[in-house]
C-alpha cells in the first residue's frame, strides 16, 4: 500500500469543561475526511469528561469505514497503562500509545479485503487540543478524572520519543539492563522523523520560550499568543484545505500558512459577538537566530541600567515602563508581543535621543535601536504568517515573550521558567539573556524597595514599626530576624528552581529530558512515567497533581476553565486557571494567580505596620511595640 503524503493526528484532552465542544469538533473532523490518494490519514484521540465515557481512538482516514475504538480495549499497548474506560490524557504514555496505534497498529483493510497495519505517511502533523497557560505547568492538558496535568518537560520528552529513529533509540538504551520485552518497547520506532507540523489548539502557547523548547522535534508550529475559544479551531474549514484534491502535496510551510489564513477568516463571522483570536505559523528552524537576536537586545537593555546615577538609567526606567504599558499583551498581561515591543521601544529611543540633545551617553540608545531592528528582521523570518480577528489582539505579530509586571509574578513562575531550555541553554549566558534582564529589571530597577522603620523619626513624619509575633528561636543558635532567613524561594536559598540548585530541570541535573540522560526519563529508567516508577504524575506518587496532593488541578479544584469561568479560566476560553481554585495546596486561595497578575512591583514585608504620624500612646503600648519584633 502506497504511503499517503500526510498523517494528521489530533489529540483532544477534553476531560474538563471542553468535552462537549470537542465532541462537536470530533464530528466536524470526521465530516472533512476525504477519499483518494491526496487525502490525508486522519486520526483523533478523544478523552471526555466522565469516568463512564470511554476514551476513544478514532480513524477517519477512510470516510466509508470510520472507526471508533475504545482505548482500554486496544491490546498490547506499547507502554502499559491502567485499563480504565476513561484514561489519563495528561499522561505522556497515553500520547505515545495513541501515535503508535496510528502509525504501527491500526488495522487497515483495502478494497480487496487485504489487511495491513498502521498508516504511515511522508509527513506528520500532531495537534494538541486542551487547556494550557503557556510555559506554566499549571493546567496543561488538564485531566479532571485523574486530577492530573502534563508537565512541560514531560511534553518535550514525549515528543522527542516520537521523532527518534530506531538507530537513535538503540543508542539510548545501549548499556541499560533491559529484558527482551523492554528492549523491544524502547527501540520501537514511531515517527522516526521530526514532526512536519506541531499544533497547539490551546491558550498562550505562541511564546518564544515554548517554541524554543520544541524546535528540535518539529519543523513548523502553529499556536496562539492569546486565548483560544473553548470551541477551539474550526477544523472543518482548516482541514478541508488539506483534504481536498491536490492539496496534500504542499510543503509544511505552505500548509501552515493556509492553516492560519483559513482559521482567521473563519473567525471573522464571530467578531460581532466580541470574539477576538490570533494565530501564527512559525518556521522552527529560524528560532535559534531569533533567540540570538533577542539575547542581543537583552544585553543592550542591561547595559542601559549599569549606572543608577546616570541619566540613561533614569530615562530608560521610564521608557521601558511606558513601552511595557502600551505593548500588546496576553496571559493576564504578563506576556508581551515581541514585535510590538521592539517597534515601540525603537520609536521611544528616537524620541529620547532628540529630547536628550545627543551626547556620548546616547550611543547606547542607538545600539538599542539596532538591536530592535535585528529582532524584527529575524522575527519576520521565523513567522510564516500571523493573523488576528477582533480588536483585542490587533497588535499581534506572531510570537510573545514573558515580561511580568512584578517580582512576585516572576517568582511564582520562576521554577517553570528557569527550567525551560530557553532559560538554561548551556550555549548562552544566563546573565546576558532575557532571564538576566528580567531579574535585573524586576528585582532592582522597577522595584519599589522596602523602607525600614526609623527609630528616631522626626516629629509629625510618617511612623513605621516592626509588628507581628515574636520569634523565640535564640536557643537553637539561629538568627530569629525574619528578614535574614533563607526561606524557600528567597535569595540565598537553593530550593527547587533557584539558581544553584540541581533539582529537576536545573543545570547539572540529569533528570528526565536533560543533557546527559540516556532516555526519556532518568538514566537507567525505562521511560519516565512507566509502571513501577513514581515520577511526577504516576500512580503512587504525590507530586504535582497527584491523588492526595492539593497541587494544581486536584479534585475539587476549578482549575483550567471549569464551567462558570471566563478568561483566565473563564467560560469560553482555554486559558488554564480561574477564581475558586485550590492551587498549591493553599486551601481555597488564588495565591499563584494573585501573584502572577500583580501589576505593582513593591517589596512587601509581613512584619511592618505604621501610621501617618507617630500617635500618642500609653507606656504599655510603647513597650508592646518595642518588643513585638524581638
User: What's the pLDDT tens digit per position in 379-412?
Assistant: 999 999 999 999 999 999 999 999 999 999 999 9
pLDDT at 409: 93
Among candidates 267, 269, 283, 284, which has minimal Cα distance to 227? 267
Query: Of the ranges 105-119, 216-230, 483-497, which one carries the lowest mean pLDDT score?
Result: 483-497
End-to-end CA, the chain: 81
Q: Give the pLDDT confidence score for residue 360 in this predicted structure.
A: 87
pLDDT band at 154 (very low <50, low <70, confident <90, very high): very high
Q: Quote the pLDDT of residue 524.
A: 39
> Mean of the pLDDT values across residues 256-284?
93
Domain-embedded: residue 534: no
Average pLDDT estimate for 44-50: 93
Distance CA 131, CA 11 (A): 12
For every residue of 232-289, DSSP letters joined together read: ---HHHHHHHHHSTTTTTS-HHHHHHHHHHHHHHHHGGGGGGT--EEEEEEEGGGHHH
* Low-confidence winner among 157-171, 215-229, 314-328, 416-430 (lowest mean pLDDT): 416-430
* Most confidently modeled range among 339-348, 407-416, 551-560: 339-348
For 42, the domain range is 4-284
Mean pLDDT of the chain: 81
Strand partners, 132: 575
Query: With bands split at pLDDT 50, 70 and 90, how would you rate the model's confidence at 351?
Result: very high
Judged against a pLDDT cut of 60, whether residue 190 lies above it is answered with yes
From residue 72, give the alpha-carbon distance in Å to each of 81, 86, 148, 161: 9, 8, 19, 22
Asked if residue 409 belongs to a domain, the reply is no
Of 50, 587, 529, 566, the closest CA to residue 274 belongs to: 566
Q: Mean per-residue pLDDT for 88-110? A: 96
Question: Percent of the chain having pLDDT more than 70?
Answer: 75
What is the 8-class DSSP label of residue 72?
G
Is 240 a residue whose pLDDT tops 80? no
Sheet holding 4-13, edge to edge: 67-70, 56-59, 41-47, 4-13, 121-129, 197-201, 220-223, 277-283, 383-389
Q: Which of 247, 252, 277 is nearest to 264 (CA)?
A: 277
Q: Label residue 135 by pLDDT band (50, 70, 90).
A: very high
pLDDT digits (tens, 9 = 90+) for 276-303: 999 999 999 999 999 999 999 999 999 9
pLDDT > 90? residue 189? yes
Of the chain, the percentage scoring pLDDT greater than 90 comes to 57
Q: What is the C-alpha separation between 428 and 288, in angstroms, rounded? A: 11
Residue 426 has pLDDT above 60, yes or no: no
**What local confidence, expressed as pLDDT, does residue 543 receive?**
35
**Section 493-504 average pLDDT:** 39
pLDDT for residue 463: 85
Q: Of 231-235, 249-253, 406-410, which one has max mean pLDDT?
A: 406-410
Specify the pTM.
Answer: 0.81
Helix (H) or strand (E) holding 137: none
Tell me if 299 is assigned to some domain: no
Q: Per the domain annotation, does 87 fall within a domain?
A: yes
Task: Give yes or no for a contact between 571 and 561, defined as CB atoms under 8 angstroms apart.
Answer: yes
pLDDT reading at 515 higher than 50:
no
Amino acid 495: pLDDT: 37
**The length of the chain, given as a count of residues:** 630
pLDDT at position 511: 34
Check residue 200 and give its pLDDT.
97
What is the band of 503 on the pLDDT scale with cuts at 50, 70, 90? very low
| pLDDT(533) > 70 | no
When pLDDT is averaged across residues 295-314 and rounded to a whole number, the result is 96
Contact 348, 323 (CB under 8 A): yes
Confidence tier at 65 by pLDDT (50, 70, 90): confident
**Bridge partners, 387 (sequence order):** 279
pLDDT at 606 over 90: no
> 570 or 392: whose pLDDT is higher?
392
Number of domains in the chain: 1
Instruction: Determine the distance from the C-alpha atom of residue 211 to the mean position of all C-alpha atoms in its chain, rounded to a whole number.
Output: 9
What is the reported pLDDT for 532? 39
Mean pLDDT confidence for 466-470: 81
Nearest residue to 205 (alpha-carbon basis) of 262, 264, 141: 141
Burial of 470 (0-12, 13-18, 19+ CB in 10 A): exposed
pLDDT for 478 beyond 60: no
Using CA atoms, how far apart are residues 540 and 549, in angstroms rounded to an integer? 11
Q: Which residues pair with 223 in a beta bridge?
A: 280
Are residues 110 and 168 in contact, defined by beta-carbon separation less than 8 angstroms? no
Which is more confidently placed, 50 or 389? 389
| Cα(111)–Cα(129) distance, integer angstroms | 33
Residue 424 maps to a domain:
no
Of the pLDDT bands very low, low, confident and very high (cuts 50, 70, 90), residue 484 is very low
In a domain, 491, yes or no: no
- Report residue 625's pLDDT band, with 50, 70 and 90 as the boundaries: low
Residue 6, C-beta contacts closer than 8 angstroms, at least 6 positions apart: 40, 41, 121, 122, 123, 124, 125, 196, 242, 248
Identify the helix (H) or strand (E) that includes residue 587: none
Q: Phi and psi of 462, rounded to 5°?
A: -60, 140
- In what order do the strands lie in the sheet containing 335-337? 329-330, 335-337, 400-402
Is residue 92 a part of any domain in this protein?
yes
SS3 at position 336: strand
CATH label of the domain that carries residue 175: 3.40.50.11970
pLDDT per residue over 7-43, tens digit each? 999 999 999 999 999 999 999 898 887 666 678 899 9
Answer whether residue 423 is part of any domain.
no
Tell which residue, 158, 210, 149, has the closest CA to residue 536. 149
Q: Which helix (H) or strand (E) holds 222?
A: strand 220-223
pLDDT band at 104 (very low <50, low <70, confident <90, very high): very high
pLDDT band at 250 (very low <50, low <70, confident <90, very high): confident
Q: Using CB atoms within 10 A of its CB, is residue 606 exposed (0-12), middle (13-18) or buried (19+)?
A: exposed
Amino acid at each position: 500500500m502506497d504511503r499517503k503524503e500526510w498523517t494528521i493526528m489530533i489529540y483532544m484532552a477534553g476531560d474538563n469543561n471542553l468535552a462537549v465542544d470537542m465532541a462537536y469538533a470530533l464530528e466536524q473532523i470526521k465530516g472533512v475526511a476525504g477519499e483518494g490518494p491526496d487525502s490525508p490519514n486522519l486520526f483523533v484521540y478523544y478523552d471526555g469528561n466522565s469516568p463512564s465515557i470511554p476514551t476513544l481512538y478514532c480513524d477517519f482516514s477512510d470516510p466509508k469505514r470510520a472507526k471508533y475504538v475504545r482505548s482500554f480495549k486496544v491490546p498490547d499497548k506499547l507502554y502499559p497503562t491502567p485499563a480504565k474506560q476513561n484514561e489519563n490524557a495528561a499522561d505522556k504514555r497515553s500520547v505515545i500509545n495513541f501515535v503508535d496505534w496510528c502509525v504501527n497498529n491500526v488495522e487497515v483493510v483495502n478494497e480487496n479485503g487485504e489487511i495491513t497495519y498502521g498508516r504511515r505517511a511522508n509527513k506528520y502533523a500532531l495537534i494538541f487540543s486542551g487547556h494550557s497557560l503557556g510555559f506554566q505547568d499549571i493546567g496543561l492538558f488538564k485531566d479532571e478524572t485523574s486530577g492530573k496535568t502534563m508537565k512541560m518537560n514531560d511534553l518535550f520528552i514525549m515528543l522527542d520519543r516520537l521523532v527518534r529513529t530506531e538507530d537513535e533509540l538503540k543508542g539510548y538504551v545501549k548499556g541499560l539492563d533491559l529484558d527482551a520485552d523492554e528492549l523491544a518497547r524502547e527501540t520501537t520506532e514511531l515517527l522516526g522523523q521530526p514532526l512536519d507540523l506541531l499544533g497547539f489548539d490551546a491558550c498562550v502557547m505562541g511564546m518564544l520560550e515554548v517554541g524554543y523548547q520544541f524546535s528540535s522535534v518539529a519543523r513548523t508550529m502553529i499556536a496562539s499568543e492569546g486565548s483560544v475559544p473553548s470551541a477551539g479551531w474550526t477544523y472543518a474549514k482548516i482541514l478541508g484545505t488539506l483534504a481536498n484534491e491536490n492539496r496534500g502535496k504542499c510543503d509544511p510551510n505552505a500548509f501552515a500558512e493556509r492553516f492560519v489564513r483559513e482559521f482567521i477568516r473563519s473567525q471573522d463571522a464571530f467578531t460581532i459577538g466580541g470574539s477576538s483570536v490570533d494565530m501564527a505559523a512559525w518556521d522552527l528552524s529560524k528560532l535559534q537566530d531569533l533567540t540570538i537576536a533577542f539575547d542581543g537586545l537583552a544585553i543592550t537593555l542591561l547595559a542601559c541600567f549599569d549606572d543608577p546615577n546616570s541619566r540613561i538609567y533614569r530615562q530608560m526606567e521610564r521608557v521601558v515602563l511606558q513601552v511595557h504599558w502600551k505593548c500588546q499583551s496576553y496571559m493576564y498581561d504578563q506576556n508581551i508581543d515581541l514585535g510590538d515591543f521592539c517597534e515601540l521601544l525603537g520609536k521611544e529611543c528616537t524620541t529620547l535621543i532628540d529630547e536628550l540633545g545627543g551626547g556620548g551617553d546616547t550611543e547606547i540608545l542607538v545600539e538599542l535601536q539596532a538591536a530592535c531592528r535585528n529582532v524584527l528582521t529575524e522575527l519576520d523570518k521565523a513567522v510564516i504568517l500571523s493573523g488576528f480577528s477582533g480588536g483585542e489582539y490587533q497588535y499581534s505579530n506572531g510570537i510573545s515573550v514573558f515580561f511580568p509586571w512584578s517580582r512576585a509574578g516572576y517568582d511564582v513562575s520562576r521554577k517553570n521558567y528557569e527550567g525551560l531550555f530557553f532559560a538554561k541553554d548551556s550555549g548562552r549566558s544566563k546573565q546576558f539573556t532575557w532571564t538576566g534582564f528580567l531579574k535585573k529589571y524586576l528585582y532592582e530597577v522597577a522595584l519599589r524597595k522596602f523602607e525600614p522603620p526609623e527609630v528616631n523619626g522626626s516629629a509629625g513624619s510618617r511612623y513605621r514599626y516592626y509588628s507581628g509575633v515574636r520569634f523565640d528561636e535564640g536557643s537553637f543558635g539561629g538568627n530569629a530576624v525574619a528578614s535574614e532567613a533563607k526561606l524557600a524561594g528567597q535569595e540565598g536559598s537553593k530550593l527547587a528552581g533557584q539558581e544553584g540548585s540541581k533539582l529537576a530541570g536545573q543545570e547539572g541535573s540529569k533528570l528526565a529530558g536533560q543533557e546527559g540522560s540516556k532516555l526519556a526519563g532518568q538514566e537507567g529508567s525505562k521511560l519516565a512515567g512507566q509502571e513501577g516508577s513514581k515520577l511526577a504524575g504516576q500512580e503512587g506518587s504525590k507530586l504535582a497533581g497527584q491523588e492526595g496532593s492539593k497541587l494544581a488541578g486536584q479534585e475539587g479544584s476549578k482549575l483550567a476553565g471549569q464551567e462558570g469561568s471566563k478568561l483566565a479560566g473563564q467560560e469560553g476560553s482555554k486559558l488554564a486557571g480561574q477564581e475558586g481554585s485550590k492551587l498549591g495546596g493553599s486551601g481555597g486561595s488564588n495565591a499563584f494567580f494573585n501573584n502572577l497578575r500583580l501589576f505593582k512591583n513593591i517589596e512587601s514585608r509581613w512584619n511592618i505596620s505604621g501610621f501617618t504620624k507617630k500617635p500618642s500612646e500609653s507606656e504599655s503600648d510603647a513597650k508592646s511595640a518595642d518588643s513585638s519584633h524581638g
